[in-house]
Amino acid sequence: MKYLPLSLLLAFCFTPAFAQVYDGGVNDTTDEFTGQTSCRHYVDESMTTWDGITLVKSSSEFLPGLLVHVRRSYEGSDWVLNSAGAVTNTTLYMIFGDSEPVNYPANYVSVETEENYEALSVMSTELANRVMASPGDIKVRFSGPNGSADFVIDHAVATTLAAGFGQECLP
């Protein structure tokens, strides 16, 4: 019992950085009425931020391919996306490692004013695969009708998605 505080301290000091992400886990479900299946994995950088990515695979005809849902925290009224959900003139830019920026037009946007985060969704199997294979941190830009915002998604988010979603949701 006298070694418990020391062991807890050592465990905390030697916990790898990637263990600090908030992993919402893989959720694999089947709708009992329609028989449609979905598999999703939600990962944030930490318990104190909304910055993160969710990947979704569904058998629904409305979700062809994979959905990449990227979230960004903001302060005050500093959102750049349309708070009414309009996707006009809204683009997601990402840089993986030393690559050139790639852009994807948004399929869906949302702004959560009470929780202080905004999200942008893109239907793209290619983007989902690039996220999971990212060689390092992912540089992100939301470009919307209220300007643009740059932020970085920690590499640990990508590796957690690859280990969960990549192993459990993809064939």
Residue 11 lies in a domain: no
Residue 63 lies in a domain: yes
Location of structure tokens 């990227």: 70
> Coil, strand, or helix at residue 168?
helix
One-letter amino acid for residue 74 of the chain? Y
Question: Domain span at residue 141?
Answer: 22-168
Residue 8 lies in a domain: no
Q: How many domains does the chain have?
A: 1
> Is the pTM for the entire model greater than 0.85?
no
Residue 162 lies in a domain: yes
Residue 7 lies in a domain: no
Give the model confidence (pLDDT) of 62-101 as tens digits. 776 799 999 999 888 888 998 788 888 899 999 999 999 9
Residue 14 lies in a domain: no
Give the model confidence (pLDDT) of 94-138 as tens digits. 999 999 999 999 999 999 988 899 999 999 999 999 999 999 999
> By the 8 A CB rule, do 107 and 119 touch?
no
